[in-house]
C-alpha cells in the first residue's frame, strides 16, 4: 500500500515543477488549513512545530502542529527539500499548495514548495521523545515543555474553552463580573490554612505591615461578592484562590481557580441548584461542541469509559437528597466505612463516593446540613428537633464535592448573636441571597476524567513544588 | 404641571381597583422591565433597592434599582401603600402592572399593586446619602457600600463589560487563554518590589519554605506565556499582578489586572502594534455599544470632554515614532522639563505627556528603545551606532504608558551571552515571538477619564490600605 502511495506522489511532484510565480502566500493556522472546504490548490503559509518526520526515497512526509488544534497538518514534499535539521520538535515555516489529500486519514495536505527551518531542536536533549506516550507524572517535571504533547495541548485548549464558556454563561444570564481581591485582610471563614504576605526582604519584621494590617491570599471571594450583591442582584467571580495546606492529594492544590456566584433575593435552595446544574451542563456542552477531538483524546487515552459517564451525567436530572437522608442511606449501607456515618458529623470522602454510586453515578445535591458543621453565615432553617441550615453541596462521580453553597443569613438579629464583622452588610437594605463556589480544576477533572488535579492546570503549585 | 399628572394618576388608580385575580407575576430585572417594547399591562415582579421616594397626598413615586442598569424603574403607587419603611437604600419587592408612562422621562413605569419591604435601611446611619453626589474620595472609605452609587455602579458594569470584551476579542482571534500562576518562584525581570509569601504563622521561620524555594506574587505572566507560546502560536492571560511599591500615586496599585499576550512567529513590531491597536479599539467599541448610559454618566460627571477625546482616539490611526525621534522632539520642545531629555535614558511622565500632546492627543507607539534600558530578553535590532532593541510602548492621553511589549530574543547565541535562566526555552524549536502587556485599570482610566486608579477597581489595595 505504502509503495503505491509513494509512487503516486512522486509522479505528482514531477509534473508540478518548476513552480509558477505567485503572490505572497496567505498565512493560515493549522486549524484553518485543515478546515478548508474547497481546496483548489491555494498557496498558503503555515508555521509550527514538527510532530513527525517520515523521510522516504523520493518523498518527505511531515506533520506540523501549531497548537490551534489537536490534529497536525500533513506536509508532503519532494525529498530534495529534506534536511537533517527537520527533526521532531523543531519549528518550521512551510509554503506550498493546499490540496485535497489522496489518503482517507485527512481531508487536505500541504504540497510544500519551500521549507524554512526557524528553530532547531536537538532530539537527544529534548525531554519529550518522538512517538513516545509519556506518563503524566513524567511530564509534570517539565512544566515548560509538557504543553507540546498532544494530551496537555488538548487539556489546555479545553481549559481555555471552559473558561470562555463560564464567562458566556454568566454574561448571558445577566450576571455582573467582579474581580474580587486576591490580597485580603480577612482571614475569611477559617476555610483552611492561609498564606500571609509581606514585601520581599521584610518578612523578618512583620510588625511593620505594608498594608498596616496583616495581609493574606484569598481563600474565597464570597464576602466580596456578598458586598456586591447589595447593589447588583447577580454577580460572579472567576479567579485564583489559595490554601496553605500541606496536602499532596490528587484533589488539592495550593493555588486553584474558583467560580463563585451570589444571587440576591433568592428564597430557596432550589433557585441556586438550578443555576448550578445549568452552569455544569452548559459549560460541558460548550466544551464538547467546540473541541470534540480534544475531549475525545482525553476520554480515549486518559479515562476510558468517561465519555459514557459524562453523557449519563448530562442527560439526567441531578438528584437532591437531604443531609439527614444521606446519613440514613449511609447507615443502611452494607459497606463498612472507616468513619462511622453519624448525624451531625461531616461527610467523609468514602461517604461521598458511596452516595454518588448509590444515586446511580449522577451528580447529587446534598441539602440542609446541621447548623453546627457549617459556617456562621448560612441561613437558619429554624427547623427541629435537628437544627439545620440552608447549605448545599454538589457531589459528582470521580471527584466528590464540586460545588458548595447555600442561602446566606440576611436577618440581622440572627447574625447579631453570631458575629460582629458581618453585621454592617445587613443593616442597610439587607436582602435574602445565596451563592455557591465551584472548584474549576475539579470541574475539569470531572468532565475529562483526569485523575490528578496537577494535570489540568498549566503551572501547578503544591507543597514543596513551585516550578517556574 | 405636577398637579395635573397627580390628578390623572389618582383617576387611573380609582378605576383599576379592585384588582382582578391573576397568575403569579413574572420576575423581571429592572433592565428588562425598562426595555419592554409593547407594554399592555403585564403583571410583573421587580426586586431592588429604593433610590428615591416622593410621597404625595394621593400618589407615591419610587425609583427602584437592581444594578442591572443605571436607570431605575419608576414605581407609581396609591398612597395607601406608603410606609415609613420605604426609605432610600431599603430593599423591596414590588408586584404590579407594567404600563406605558405618561411622562417623557421614561418609557414605562410599574403601577404597583403590592409593595413588600425586604430589608430596612436606616437612612441616618447609612453613609450614602439621598440625593447627594458624594466625592469619589469619600466613597473610597466605604468599599462595601460605594457600589450602591450611580457612578461606581456604572464603572463596575463597564469593567465587567470590558472584561468580557477582552475575552471575546482574543477568542475570536484564535488565542488560547492561559491561567498563568499567581505564586511563582521567579523574581521575574526585576519589575519592581515583590511580595513574598509563606503560610500564616510561619513568617518568622522563612528558612522552612512551603514550596522549598522562596515564593513570590507574580509581577507579570510573560515568562509563563512564553512557555506556552512554544506550543500554541497565540496565547493570552488576563489576571492579577502585584507590586510591593510604596507608591500613593493615582496611577499605581499594589494589586492590579494585566492583559498579556504572546504571539509566535512574529517578525516585526508592526504585527504586535496591529493587535494592540485592535484590542484597544474593539474593547472600547464593545463597551460603548453595550453600556452607553454608563459611559455617558462617566463622561458627563467625572470627565467632561472625555467623550470627544475618546472618539478622537478611536477614529484616528495610532501614531508610531521611534525612541530616537521622540528624544529629538523632546529636545526641540519649548517646554522646560524637570528631567532633561537625553538619548539612553528612560522617558519620564512629563516627557510622555508632552509626546502625546505633541502627537495631537492620539495614542502613540514609541518603538526601538536603547538596549541598555530594556530587559535582557528584548530582541536585538543589531543596528548602530546607537544600539536598540525591538521594544514598544503605547502612550495614551491622560494615562501615559498603557501597553509595553516587544519582540523577544529567540536567538540562542544572543541570549547565551546574557542569561542562563532563559536558555532552556530557546533550545528546542525556538521561534521568533513577541508580546505585550496592558494595565487593565489604566485602560479603564483612559477610556472613561477616571483620574484615580482606585476608583476603577472594586477593592483597591495600596500601601497602608487593605479594606475588607
Rounded distance, CA A330 to CA A54, Å? 58
Rounded distance, CA B465 to CA A276, Å? 35
Task: Give the tens place of pLDDT for each residue, B451-465.
Answer: 888 888 888 888 888
**CB-defined contacts A:B, below 8 A:** 329
This prediction has a pTM of 0.90
Are residues A433 and A410 in contact, defined by beta-carbon separation less than 8 angstroms?
yes
For A103, the grid coordinates are 489518503
Kindly state the average pLDDT of the residues B19-41. Answer: 79
Q: Which of A181, A201, A463 comes nearest B255 by C-beta?
A: A181
Average pLDDT over all residues of chain A: 88
pLDDT at B207: 56
**Scanning the structure block, which residue is given the C-alpha cell 487593565?**
B440
Judged by CB atoms closer than 8 Å, whether chains meet at A91 and B181 is answered as: no
Candidates B121, B198, B231, partner chain A, best to mutate (most A CBs within 10 A):
B231
Candidates B170, B466, B467, partner chain A, best to mutate (most A CBs within 10 A):
B466
Are residues B271 and B434 in contact, defined by beta-carbon separation less than 8 angstroms?
yes
All residues of chain B having their beta carbon less than 8 Å from the beta carbon of residue A230 are 49, 144-145, 147-148
Among A316-330, A409-423, B31-45, B211-225, name the one with the lowest average pLDDT.
A409-423
Sign of CA dihedral B266, B270, B271, B272: positive
Residue A131 gets the label, from left (phi > 0), alpha (psi -120 to 50) or beta, of: left
All residues of chain A having their beta carbon less than 8 Å from the beta carbon of residue B415 are none
Kindly state the average pLDDT of the residues B185-191. Answer: 62
Structure confidence at residue B166 as a pLDDT band (50, 70, 90) = very high
Judged by CB atoms closer than 8 Å, whether chains meet at B156 and A174 is answered as: no
Rounded distance, CA B409 to CA B233, Å? 16
Q: Residue A459 pLDDT > 50, yes or no? A: yes
Record: fold of B26-119: OB fold (Dihydrolipoamide Acetyltransferase, E2P) (2.40.50)
DSSP annotation string for A73-134: EEEEEEGGG--TT--TT-EEEEEEEEEE-SSTT-SEEEEEEEEEEEE-B-TTT-SSPTT---
For B98, the grid coordinates are 407594567
Candidates B35, B53, B175, B210, partner chain A, best to mutate (most A CBs within 10 A):
B210
Comparison of pLDDT for A18 and A215, the residue scoring more: A215
Rounded distance, CA A48 to CA A32, Å? 13
Q: Residue B248 pLDDT > 60, yes or no? A: yes
Kindly state the average pLDDT of the residues B169-182. Answer: 96
Candidates B242, B429, B460, B462, partner chain A, best to mutate (most A CBs within 10 A):
B429
Measured torsion, CA atoms of residues A156, A157, A158, A160, in degrees rounded to the nearest 10: 90
pLDDT at A4: 36
All residues of chain A having their beta carbon less than 8 Å from the beta carbon of residue B143 are 227
Structure confidence at residue A37 as a pLDDT band (50, 70, 90) = confident
Work out the percent of chain A whose per-residue pLDDT is above 90.
Answer: 64
Structure confidence at residue A431 as a pLDDT band (50, 70, 90) = confident
Sign of CA dihedral B248, B250, B256, B260: negative
Judged by CB atoms closer than 8 Å, whether chains meet at A164 and B144 is answered as: no
Judged by CB atoms closer than 8 Å, whether chains meet at B197 and A194 is answered as: no
Structure confidence at residue A207 as a pLDDT band (50, 70, 90) = low
Burial-class residue A289 by CB neighbours within 10 Å (0-12, 13-18, 19+): exposed
- DSSP-derived letter for residue A409 is -
Task: Give the tens place of pLDDT for each residue, B424-450.
Answer: 666 777 888 888 888 888 888 887 888
- From the CA of B268, how many Å to the nearest CA of chain A? 15
Comparison of pLDDT for B236 and B454, the residue scoring more: B236
All residues of chain B having their beta carbon less than 8 Å from the beta carbon of residue A457 are 179
Judged by CB atoms closer than 8 Å, whether chains meet at B461 and A211 is answered as: yes
Q: How far is CA B158 from CA A228, A410, B299, B397, B443, in A?
A: 15, 28, 12, 20, 12
Rounded distance, CA A117 to CA B416, Å? 20
Query: Among B99, B157, B88, which Cα is nearest to B124's?
Result: B88
Structure confidence at residue B24 as a pLDDT band (50, 70, 90) = low
All residues of chain A having their beta carbon less than 8 Å from the beta carbon of residue B177 are 159-160, 163-164
Q: Residue A390 pLDDT > 90, yes or no? A: yes
Q: Residue B60 pLDDT > 60, yes or no? A: yes
pLDDT at B14: 35
Rounded distance, CA A308 to CA A299, Å? 9
Q: Residue A362 pLDDT > 70, yes or no? A: yes
Are residues A210 and A270 in contact, defined by beta-carbon separation less than 8 angstroms?
no
Kindly state the average pLDDT of the residues B220-249. Answer: 92
Task: Give the tens place of pLDDT for each residue, A58-114.
Answer: 999 999 999 999 999 999 999 999 999 999 999 999 999 999 999 888 899 999 999
Judged by CB atoms closer than 8 Å, whether chains meet at B428 and A126 is answered as: yes
Structure confidence at residue B9 as a pLDDT band (50, 70, 90) = very low
Are residues A127 and A133 in contact, defined by beta-carbon separation less than 8 angstroms?
no
Q: Residue A339 pLDDT > 60, yes or no? A: yes
pLDDT at B251: 84
- From the CA of A340, how many Å to the nearest CA of chain B? 33
Judged by CB atoms closer than 8 Å, whether chains meet at A148 and B231 is answered as: yes
Judged by CB atoms closer than 8 Å, whether chains meet at A66 and B427 is answered as: no
Judged by CB atoms closer than 8 Å, whether chains meet at B232 and A66 is answered as: yes
Kindly state the average pLDDT of the residues B310-314. Answer: 94
For A73, the grid coordinates are 497538518
Among A266-280, A362-376, A440-454, name the one with the lowest average pLDDT.
A440-454
Kindly state the average pLDDT of the residues B323-349. Answer: 95
DSSP annotation string for B356-369: HHHTTSS-EEEEEE
Judged by CB atoms closer than 8 Å, whether chains meet at B181 and A461 is answered as: yes
Sign of CA dihedral A29, A34, A40, A41: positive
pLDDT at A424: 65
pLDDT at A447: 79
Kindly state the average pLDDT of the residues A232-250. Answer: 91
Structure confidence at residue A414 as a pLDDT band (50, 70, 90) = confident
| Beta-carbon contacts of residue B285 (< 8 Å; ≥ 6 apart) | B314
For A277, the grid coordinates are 446544574
Rounded distance, CA B347 to CA B13, Å? 68
Max CA pair span of chain A: 90
pLDDT at A13: 36
For B372, the grid coordinates are 541598555
pLDDT at B138: 93
Judged by CB atoms closer than 8 Å, whether chains meet at B200 and A195 is answered as: yes
Structure confidence at residue B202 as a pLDDT band (50, 70, 90) = low
Task: Give the tens place of pLDDT for each residue, B351-407.
Answer: 999 999 999 999 999 999 999 899 888 999 999 888 999 999 999 998 899 999 999
Q: Which of B184, B201, B426 comes nearest A468 by C-beta?
A: B184
| Beta-carbon contacts of residue B208 (< 8 Å; ≥ 6 apart) | B202
**Scanning the structure block, which residue is given the C-alpha cell 450614602?**
B128
Query: Among B134, B156, B65, B150, which Cα is nearest to B455's?
Result: B156
| Beta-carbon contacts of residue B221 (< 8 Å; ≥ 6 apart) | B178, B180, B181, B237, B239, B241, B258, B260
Structure confidence at residue A425 as a pLDDT band (50, 70, 90) = low
CATH class of A148-455: alpha beta
Judged by CB atoms closer than 8 Å, whether chains meet at B156 and A228 is answered as: yes
Are residues A87 and A44 in contact, defined by beta-carbon separation less than 8 angstroms?
no
Question: What residue of A is the nearest CA neighbor of B170?
Answer: A164
pLDDT at B422: 59
3-class DSSP state for residue B417? coil
pLDDT at B6: 35
Rounded distance, CA B310 to CA B307, Å? 5
Question: What residue of B is the nearest CA neighbor of A174?
Answer: B68
3-class DSSP state for residue B285? helix
What is the edge-to-edge ordering of all strands in the sheet holding A215-217?
A183-184, A215-217, A195-199, B195-199, B215-217, B183-184
Kindly state the average pLDDT of the residues A322-347. Answer: 95
How far is Cα of residue B53 from the mean position of the Cα atoms in its chain?
32
Q: Which of A374-388, B49-63, B178-192, B444-458 has the highest mean pLDDT?
A: B49-63
Domain boundaries, chain B: 26-119, 148-455
Judged by CB atoms closer than 8 Å, whether chains meet at A425 and B144 is answered as: yes
Judged by CB atoms closer than 8 Å, whether chains meet at B212 and A465 is answered as: yes
Helices A150-172/B150-172 angle, 10° precision: 140
Among A109-118, A316-325, B330-339, B447-456, name the one with the lowest average pLDDT.
B447-456
- From the CA of A441, how many Å to the nearest CA of chain B? 11
Report ipTM (2 d.p.). 0.89
Average pLDDT over all residues of chain B: 88
pLDDT at A2: 35
| Beta-carbon contacts of residue B57 (< 8 Å; ≥ 6 apart) | B6, B79
For A319, the grid coordinates are 438528584
All residues of chain B having their beta carbon less than 8 Å from the beta carbon of residue A160 are 176-178
Are residues A443 and A402 in contact, defined by beta-carbon separation less than 8 angstroms?
yes
Among A142-146, A260-264, A428-432, B117-121, name the one with the lowest average pLDDT.
A428-432
Q: How far is CA A400 from CA A345, A404, B117, B386, in A?
A: 17, 11, 40, 62
- From the CA of A178, how many Å to the nearest CA of chain B? 7
Query: Among A304, A236, A305, which Cα is nearest to A264's?
Result: A236
Task: Give the tens place of pLDDT for each residue, B86-120.
Answer: 999 999 999 999 999 998 888 999 999 999 999 99
Amino acid at each position: 500500500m505504502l509503495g503505491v502511495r509513494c509512487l503516486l506522489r512522486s509522479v505528482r511532484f514531477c509534473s508540478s515543477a518548476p513552480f509558477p510565480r505567485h503572490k505572497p502566500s496567505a498565512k493560515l493556522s493549522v486549524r484553518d488549513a485543515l478546515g478548508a472546504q474547497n481546496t483548489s490548490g491555494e498557496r498558503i503559509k503555515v508555521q509550527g512545530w514538527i510532530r513527525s518526520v517520515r523521510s522516504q526515497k523520493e518523498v518527505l512526509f511531515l506533520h506540523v502542529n501549531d497548537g490551534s488544534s489537536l490534529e497536525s497538518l500533513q506536509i508532503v514534499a519532494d525529498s530534495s527539500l529534506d534536511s537533517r535539521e527537520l527533526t521532531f520538535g523543531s519549528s518550521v515555516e512551510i509554503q506550498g499548495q493546499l490540496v485535497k489529500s489522496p489518503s482517507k486519514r485527512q481531508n487536505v495536505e500541504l504540497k510544500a514548495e519551500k521549507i524554512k527551518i526557524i528553530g532547531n531542536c536537538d532530539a537527544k536533549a529534548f525531554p519529550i521523545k518522538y512517538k513516545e506516550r509519556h506518563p503524566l507524572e513524567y511530564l509534570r517535571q517539565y512544566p515548560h515543555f509538557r504543553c507540546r504533547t498532544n494530551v496537555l495541548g488538548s487539556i489546555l485548549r479545553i481549559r481555555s474553552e471552559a473558561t470562555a464558556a463560564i464567562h458566556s454563561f454568566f454574561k448571558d444570564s445577566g450576571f455582573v463580573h467582579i474581580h474580587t481581591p486576591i490580597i485580603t485582610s480577612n482571614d475569611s471563614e477559617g476555610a483552611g490554612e492561609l498564606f500571609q504576605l509581606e514585601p520581599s526582604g521584610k518578612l523578618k519584621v512583620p510588625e511593620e505591615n505594608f498594608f498596616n494590617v496583616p495581609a493574606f491570599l484569598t481563600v474565597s471571594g464570597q464576602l466580596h461578592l456578598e458586598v456586591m450583591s447589595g447593589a447588583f442582584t447577580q454577580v460572579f467571580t472567576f479567579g485564583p484562590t489559595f490554601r496553605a495546606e500541606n496536602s499532596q492529594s490528587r484533589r488539592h492544590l495550593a493555588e486553584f481557580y474558583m467560580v463563585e456566584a451570589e444571587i440576591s433575593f433568592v428564597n430557596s435552595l432550589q433557585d441556586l441548584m438550578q443555576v448550578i446544574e445549568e452552569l455544569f451542563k452548559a459549560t460541558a456542552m460548550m466544551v464538547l461542541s467546540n473541541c470534540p477531538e480534544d475531549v475525545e483524546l482525553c476520554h480515549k487515552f486518559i479515562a476510558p469509559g468517561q465519555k459514557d459517564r459524562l453523557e449519563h451525567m448530562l442527560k439526567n436530572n441531578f438528584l437532591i437528597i437531604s443531609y439527614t437522608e444521606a446519613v440514613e442511606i449511609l447507615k443502611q449501607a452494607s459497606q463498612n466505612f472507616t468513619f462511622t456515618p453519624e448525624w451531625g458529623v461531616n461527610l467523609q470522602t468514602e461517604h461521598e463516593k458511596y452516595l454518588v454510586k448509590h444515586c446511580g453515578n449522577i451528580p447529587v445535591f446534598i441539602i440542609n446540613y446541621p447548623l453546627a458543621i457549617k459556617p456562621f453565615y448560612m441561613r437558619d432553617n429554624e427547623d427541629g428537633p435537628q437544627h439545620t441550615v440552608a447549605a448545599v453541596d454538589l457531589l459528582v462521580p470521580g471527584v466528590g464535592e464540586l460545588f458548595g453553597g447555600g442561602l446566606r443569613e440576611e436577618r440581622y438579629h440572627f447574625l447579631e448573636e453570631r458575629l460582629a464583622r458581618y453585621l454592617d452588610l445587613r443593616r442597610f437594605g439587607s436582602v435574602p441571597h445565596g451563592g455557591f463556589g465551584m472548584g474549576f480544576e475539579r470541574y475539569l477533572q470531572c468532565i475529562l476524567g483526569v485523575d490528578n488535579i496537577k494535570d489540568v492546570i498549566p503551572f501547578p503549585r503544591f507543597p514543596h513544588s513551585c516550578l517556574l
